[in-house]
Chain A
Amino acid sequence: MRRLGPQPNEVIDRTAPIGFTWNGKPLSGYRGDTISSALAASGVEVISRSLKYRRPRGLMTVDYWDPGTLVQVGDEPNVRAGHRLITEGIEVSAQTGWPSVTRDLGSLNGALGRFLSSGFYYKTFMRPTRLWPIYESVLGRFSAGGRIGASPGEVSYDHRFAHPDVVVAGGGPAGMMAAASAADEGSQVMLVEHEHQLGGHLRWGGREDHVLLDGLLKRVRSHPGIEILTDSTVLGRYEDNWVSIVQRSHPWVSERLIKARAKVLVIAPGLIERPYVFAGNDRIGVLVSCAVRKLINLYAVKPGERAVVLTANQSGDAAVEDLRRIGVEVARVIDGRKGETIDQVKGPRRRVAEVMTSGGERISADLVVTAVGWTAPTSLLNMAGDLPIYDPGSARFFPNHPSDEMLVTGGLAGDGNLAQTIEHAQATGRLAARRSAVVRHRFQQATPRAVPVSGEPEFVEDDRTPLPRESHPEMYRSKTHGIVDFSEDVGSKDLMGAIAEGYDSIELLKRFSTATMGPQQGKLETVNMVAVLADARGQSIGEVGTTVWRPPFAPVTLGALAGPNLEPLRVSALQDWHESHGSVGILAGEWIRPDHYGDSAAEVRHVRSKVGIIDVTPLGKFDLQGKDVPRLLEMLYVNKWSRLAVGGVRYGLMCNEEGVVLDDGVTGRLSENQYLMTTTSSGAGVVWEWAENWLQTFVPEWDVSIVPVTTAYTSINVAGPSSRELMVRLTDVDLSPESFGYMEVRMGRVADVDNCIMWRIGFTGELSYELHIPAGFGLHVWERLMEVGQDLDVRPFGLEAQRIMRLEKGHFIVGQDTDGLTKAPTTGLAALIKLDKADFAGRPELIWATEEKDPEVMSLVGIQPDDFNVVPEEGVQIVEKDGNVIYGRITSSRYSPTLQRSICMGQLRSDMARADAEITILLANGSRIPARVMHHHAHFDPEGRRLRV
């Protein structure tokens, strides 16, 4: 192959030469060249090696689906050379072949071909299973998948959501006309074209084609209602016309995934030219007719010197004309319409040199062109549940009954001349616009925010004149055997063998032989495989049916599917302060929180001896209003609430209907009809749903409003023996123990900020005040606490110190110390459960659970290892002393800086959960340590004297 002189409609820009390398060798092409066309113009014939037999492969279809042209570009593997445009300096190399793609030792496999039939892999490598790692290692070296770079490189991905009235899949003449027609009717249209340019087959057509193309391009490009996406592919169609589109042409991102909710989807992908199966059909120099026409007309590449053309349609005829025009000698035109065909192609080094026809002729040639028919890419219809129907007269599949919101036009719908195609497409666009208006009307009617509409729009009937179907001979395989799936190296003989073994349904044959399962995913080979099966079964292609195409239509990167890194992260108003004061963050759910400020043990000791402050903003908080709030609290919690006075705070334990612990927290009564409820940080969402579920479903008549206000307040816990002394400097609220006792709430001014809520509770076991400050002033109050408490040596402490102190105090954490089976009576809080209440969530189950004496039910207990210095890992098992019977597990464990010993909490069989019981803990390293069950959950100050001062 070599570059021709300028062609009338070439897409290359000869004023813009581009340099690149192929296997390290410098080559050049022009702007507009694909890698394939540039390689062809430079005389490169062998681009890859086939998967199994390692045969040399070159150009065949000269497009995205060209099976022998997957290449490595820099760090990027599996680049489609028939599609990717060359850019200055790219380093292109073959993915297969050792020591080189032109001289590959792997081609010895070809000699073993008769042993590598379908199923060879499955049958050979499944036993013995212990050898699989060796098999895997060896087979991996034969992979044709290229290599990925060590770093992700300069790539970025994003997503976009779109709601066009009409998505047109395919930017050929029918697609463009349908888009223009729909837009003329007022629709917002998204026109999606897989190739780099619109136009489809018009681009490599004659003068008449280009006149039409120019006109269509002007229309669609100038229409404000049409958004054109080239080098983009409609990947899939899902329920309600949810259409996924990958856009490779976006200037800002490597790939963008567009999620479009199309009111109507117009499917106009055109047709894919199907290769012909005959002996030697995978030799270098065998091309389909469209490939030859593209090489000549788009890229000005001469595909050979002496050609034999097998034609059964106009595309083949046009290829003959193109070849003759550029001076290729057409040695023989074999007319498939007259029953003529090719039997075999031969030649040295797996190149074309001699063609043997069905008439017994032997013709010297270096180029074989086939034009034997089309594959209808019915993928999007398949995805919508429409199974195509085979028409033997036209030798291809056609849509069956697409839904009303899916309209087909162009080659997929039928044949006809250009005028008929354009007329059909125009009618399709008009119909799409009118049907999309009906859908839009429905949407607007159902959406309160939308522009109001009235009346019921009438359904628009399909009054299009169907496109005619041209007669086409059924040409799939010659009388010889050849390759069917060029990606997977599966031949018709392989398929016959598989069928003989009993894999004689199309879906089984596909999976056993792997035909259609390669990178082309059936675009070129599906119908040929069906034809081989039909032949073997003595049935028609229609009777055999086809496989079902699933998304994606074309490969999409995982990066595009994942999109941008959108992982919501929450921070409190104090986060900047924490970060600038040496905090080490920890991710807790969506929240990033200060874990510690350098030494969590020191932080514990400091709080126990002086005063510390901690940011507890993530604590779930809810504003409750209404006269029926006490009734709701009675319903949600196991304990009683009706007598909670204004200014009082109460701890509550919440269970689900099964009596399983759902959450816990404290609620304060701020005024007659207003409460502040707190929940665990991670449980806030669940509690909100739970409460709303009750209010909206079971007791809608209750006067209760519940609103999440977690981040309306910056929550600060001031803890330690000096906390009162610190707080008294910043608030006008009387903090004396007589006026503001344990488990009480006050509202007032803190650090000059009004409307602060303070309650005397604490997770740490120390005298402490939990402040809820309007968040916009949270930093101000925090800084004031640090400022006025300098002489008290106030210091911040983090989550880890708080967790240590809560374990010292024996407070459990819902979800860590409890699980999906933990019922309230086993948590050590049985006294809190008021079964004499009329009703509450979980009551029936809790009655049963309270009476239950099953020894295997787990109970929560405090545990101390005998060895002060061994801290069992959280999650390790409690087992029998010398055996492996599991009695429970450690749920929390830490080294206590206060007690200077290891402390734990755990779930233990109820019959063993008694004070002073001796137990054995199996550590993660396999060793066992003795431990003892405590009298209380609390390891420190079980009477709570310190927090009640």
Chain B
Amino acid sequence: MLCTTTPTSIRKGDGFVSEPAFMSPITLPAPTGSPLAELSDLSHWGKVLLRGTGTVALAPFGRSIRFGDAIVAGIRPEECLLLDPSRSSQNLVRFSVNSSAVVELTHGRGMIELTGPRASGVLEKLCDLDLSDAMTPDGAVVAGYVARIVCELIRQDRGSVVSYLVVFDRSYGRYLMGALQVAMKEFNAPVQKNS
């Protein structure tokens, strides 16, 4: 099992921070070749659900906004998902100040980044949403089925390269990775660890 080591809340002894491994719900094989589509495991990112009318100001429903490294995605009306690679408490305080409910989902959700010129082609095989630039432009957020499981799909391009963040229930991690790997075969696309 490949694990992603990140700062954690695990402590050992008085004042000693041990930082044992955070276990990702997915396992990525070694990369090969030059990819048309590439997978990265971002499951270790902080993921916090923010609810309430105050969240609308952060990101409207259907859109995601970058705040430095962090992303706030309006996944449902009056409901945002804070995605924060640094998992900083400052960000949490900053973004949750107007929320009526704050739920820590870092451990409950896995997150994959699918990026590359054929990223949409991979998703087209598993997801019935319209991923065209008009319907799902850079910054778009939508909940839908990917490989028959409900995911949040957040388009956050890397420069001019199409890129999607796929947020999913962690229990489906093994299954979803299998489905994505099969879907990527025809593009000769490797999956790649990239935390």
- Point out residues on A near B: beta carbons under 8 Å: 158-163, 188, 250-253, 259, 261, 440, 443-444, 447-451, 564, 566-573, 575-576, 591, 617-618, 623, 625-626, 703, 705, 707, 709-713, 749, 752-755, 774-780
Contacts and interface: CB of A to CB of B under 8 A. Distances in A.
18 contacts: A160-B124, A564-B125, A566-B126, A566-B147, A570-B169, A571-B173, A575-B174, A617-B171, A623-B103, A625-B100, A625-B102, A709-B103, A712-B106, A712-B108, A775-B25, A776-B8, A777-B8, A779-B23
B141 interface: yes
A810 B127 CA distance: 45
B171 A777 contact: no
B51 A705 contact: yes
Contacts of B114: none
Contact of B49 (A162, A570, A707): A707
B128 A712 contact: no
A162 B137 contact: no
B135 A450 contact: yes
A577 to B, nearest CB: 9
Contacts of A752: 10-12, 18, 20
B93 interface: no
B128 to A, nearest CB: 4
A444 B132 CA distance: 11
A625 B51 CA distance: 10
A617 B11 CA distance: 23
Given A568-B149, A711-B170, A449 B135 contact: yes
Contact of A161 (B10, B127, B135, B142): B127
B11 A570 contact: no
Contact of B130 (A158, A261, A448, A618): A261
B70 interface: no
Interface in B1-59: 1, 8-12, 18, 20-25, 44, 49, 51
B135 A447 contact: yes
Nearest to A779: B23
Give the residue among B105, B126, B130 with the most A Cβ atoms within 10 A: B130
B135 to A, nearest CB: 5
B63 interface: yes
A568 B11 contact: no
A378 to B, nearest CB: 28
B15 to A, nearest CB: 13
Contacts of A780: 10, 20-21, 23
Interface of B: 1, 8-12, 18, 20-25, 44, 49, 51, 60-63, 100-109, 124-137, 140-142, 147-149, 169-175, 179, 182-183, 185-186
B128 A161 contact: yes
Given A618-B171, A713-B108, 17 more contacts: A160-B125, A253-B186, A444-B134, A449-B136, A450-B136, A570-B172, A573-B25, A705-B100, A707-B101, A709-B105, A711-B107, A711-B170, A752-B11, A753-B10, A776-B8, A776-B107, A777-B22
A163 B132 contact: yes
B147 to A, nearest CB: 5
Contacts of A261: 130
A161 B124 contact: yes
B103 A448 contact: no
Contact of A626 (B100, B124, B173): B100
A449 B141 contact: yes
Nearest to B20: A780
A754 B9 contact: yes
A443 B135 contact: yes
A712 B172 contact: no
Contacts of B12: 752
Contacts of B148: 566-568
Nearest to A576: B1
A752 B13 CA distance: 8
Contacts of B136: 449-450
